[in-house]
Structure 1
Amino acid sequence: MLIDYWPLLGLRVRTARLELRLPTEDELAELAEVAARGVHEPGERPFLLPWTEGTPIERARALLQAHWHRRGEWTPQSWKLDLVVFAQGRPAGVQEVWAREFAVRREVATGSWLGLAYHGQGIGTEMRAAALHLAFAGLGAAHATTASFVDNAPPLAVSRKLGYQPDGISRDVRDGEVLVSQRLRLTREDWARTDRPEVVLDGLAPCLDLFGAV
């Protein structure tokens, strides 16, 4: 069976109301439809890579191609895990976790998006907490990082709630304009001191070598 060769298909990260895992192809198509319907209000530009700014079909195709590309490029030295977030059994968005040279650095980074229909329900905080549990409790990470534009309040609020501390800024160029992002860092010690929802991990052990975590 495919899972024998790609055990990430069996990985499950669960909270009281969410499940994070890789999707089937039919579920990936449903997720693409969520992206096509929109992940932020018109006029907003919350991402450095402007994948959400095309037509609905362009957004859907960008999501599909990115998902397939990341699976195909995966190595224990450089990986990016796109966990689909299932709310009430339906795809609602994506929680990304990625790392380079994790075996040595013991550091992950995260990013995420949610379909517009799922905004304002606390799902963003819960799915990030689930990803952090995977990183710290499951993979043995020492640090987790993230970054958001300085004027993008919701993800910054999630980071503060989960115990991240400021870690400087980064300056990038998009369409000839300099954009400033707040970098944030969460240590294992700060994570352990922070209130967080209960998270259950299933199917992780067969995946550890793929993460460079053994």
Structure 2
Amino acid sequence: MLAKHFPLVGLRLTTPRLELRLPSPDELAELGELAAKGVHDPSLMPFIVPWTDQAPEAVARSVIQYHWLRLGDWVPQDWSLNLVVFRDAVPVGQQTVNGHDFGVTREVSTGSWLGKAHQGKGIGTEMRAAVLHLAFAGLGAEEATSGAFEHNVSSLAVSRKLGYRPNGTKRCAIRGNLSVEHKMRLTRADWERHRRVPVSVEGLEPCLPLLGITAAQTR
């Protein structure tokens, strides 16, 4: 079985409305097709790497290739877990959680996108709450970081709702223009105070070596 050699395929996060997990090949194709239909206002770029500035078929292919790339170059010291978000068994977006030397830093970062048809329904909050539960409750993280450009008010609102605090800014050149990224940081104490979404995690323990920690470090 694949899970014997790469147990992350058995990892499941479940919230009241959502399931987050790695996709099957057909589900990954659906995710790419969802992205090709649009994930943001074309006049504003919410991503540091403007991967949506392509023809729809290229956007879909880039989602698929990036998913394979991050699984293919996985190492416990530097990982990026790109979980597909399912609602009623249909892909609605992607939620990423990253760890760099996590066993030492005990810090994760997150990023995400949602198909336009699924925005404005509280899904962004619920899916980020899921990976924060994975990080803090499942992996014993101490801090989580995120960031969004100043025009990405929905992402910044999610961060504030979940307890993040401002952590500085970064000036970026996006599409040849200045965009200011607002950095956000969430401590374990603030996560505890703001956690409202019930989350269950399945299949985590065999994944721990791939995430750079031992079971003892999660407590």
TM-score normalized with structure 1 length: 0.98
C-alpha contact (below 8 Å) 2:84/2:91 kept by paired residues: yes
Task: Read off the aligned partner of 1:117 and give its amino acid letter.
Answer: A
CA deviation after TM superposition for structure 1 residue 41, in Å:
2.3
CA deviation after TM superposition for structure 1 residue 40, in Å:
1.2
Q: Which residue is equivalent to 1:145? A: 145
C-alpha contact (below 8 Å) 1:159/1:184 kept by paired residues: yes
CA deviation after TM superposition for structure 1 residue 44, in Å:
2.2
Match of 1:3, SS state, is helix
Q: Deviations over 1:100-136 (max 9, x none)?
A: 1000000000000000110111000000000100000
CA deviation after TM superposition for structure 1 residue 151, in Å:
1.8
RMSD of aligned residue pairs (Cα, Å): 0.9
Aligned mates of 1:213, 1:190 — CA distance in 2? 23
Aligned mates of 1:133, 1:116 — CA distance in 2? 25
C-alpha contact (below 8 Å) 1:140/1:213 kept by paired residues: no
Segments of 5+ residues of structure 2 without an aligned counterpart are 215-219
Aligned mates of 2:94, 2:68 — CA distance in 1? 14
CA deviation after TM superposition for structure 1 residue 175, in Å:
3.5
Q: Does 1:73 align with 2:91?
A: no
C-alpha contact (below 8 Å) 1:10/1:203 kept by paired residues: yes
Segments of 5+ residues of structure 1 without an aligned counterpart are none
User: Percent identity of the aligned residues?
Assistant: 56
Q: Which residue is equivalent to 2:94? A: 94
Task: Read off the aligned partner of 2:144 and give its amino acid letter.
Answer: A
C-alpha contact (below 8 Å) 1:83/1:96 kept by paired residues: yes
Which contiguous aligned blocks of 4+ residues in structure 1 show a shift greater than 6 angstroms? none
Task: Read off the aligned partner of 1:101 and give its amino acid letter.
Answer: D
Aligned pairs for 1:101-180 within 5 A = 101-180=101-180
TM-score normalized with structure 2 length: 0.96
CA deviation after TM superposition for structure 1 residue 183, in Å:
0.2
Aligned mates of 1:36, 1:207 — CA distance in 2? 31
CA deviation after TM superposition for structure 1 residue 193, in Å:
1.0
Q: Does 1:196 align with 2:196?
A: yes
CA deviation after TM superposition for structure 1 residue 177, in Å:
2.4
